[in-house]
Copies of this chain bind each other. A is one copy, B any other.
Amino acid sequence: MKRIGVLTSGGDAPGMNNAIAGVVKAAEAQGIEVYGVRDGYKGLINGWFEKLDSKFALEIISKGGTVLGSARLPEFKEESVRQKAVDQLKAHDIEALVVIGGDGSYMGAQRLTEMGINCIGLPGTIDNDIVSSDYTIGFDTALNTVIESIEKVRDTMQSHNRAAVIEVMGNGCGDLVTYAAIATQAEIFSPSESKLTVEQICEQAKKFAEANHRSLIILVSEKQLDANELAKKVEEASGYVTRATILGHVQRGGRPSGMDRYLAFTAALYAVEKLIEGKGGLYIGLSENKLVARDIESTLNMPKPDKTEFIEKIRLLNAKISK
Contact = CB atoms under 8 A, between A and B. Distances in A.
B144 A257 contact: yes
Nearest to A68: B159
5 contacts: A18-B183, A25-B185, A25-B317, A64-B151, A145-B152
A160 B254 contact: no
Main secondary structure of the interface of A (DSSP, over half): helix
A26 interface: yes
A237 interface: no
Interface stretch (A52-60, A85-93, A112-120, A296-304): A52-60
Interface residues of A, number: 86
A269 interface: yes
Given A25-B320, A29-B316, A258-B140, A252 B183 contact: no
A70 interface: yes
A94 interface: no
A281 to B, nearest CB: 25
A54 B316 CA distance: 12
User: Quick one: copies of this chain in the complex?
Assistant: 4
A56 to B, nearest CB: 8
B63 A320 contact: no
Contacts of A248: 153, 243-246
Nearest to A60: B185
Nearest to A147: B258
Given A21-B185, A159-B69, A265-B182, A62 B250 contact: no
A143 B183 contact: no
Given A12-B155, A247-B250, 15 more contacts: A8-B159, A12-B159, A12-B160, A25-B318, A26-B317, A65-B156, A134-B289, A144-B257, A148-B254, A154-B253, A157-B249, A182-B262, A183-B262, A183-B265, A243-B249
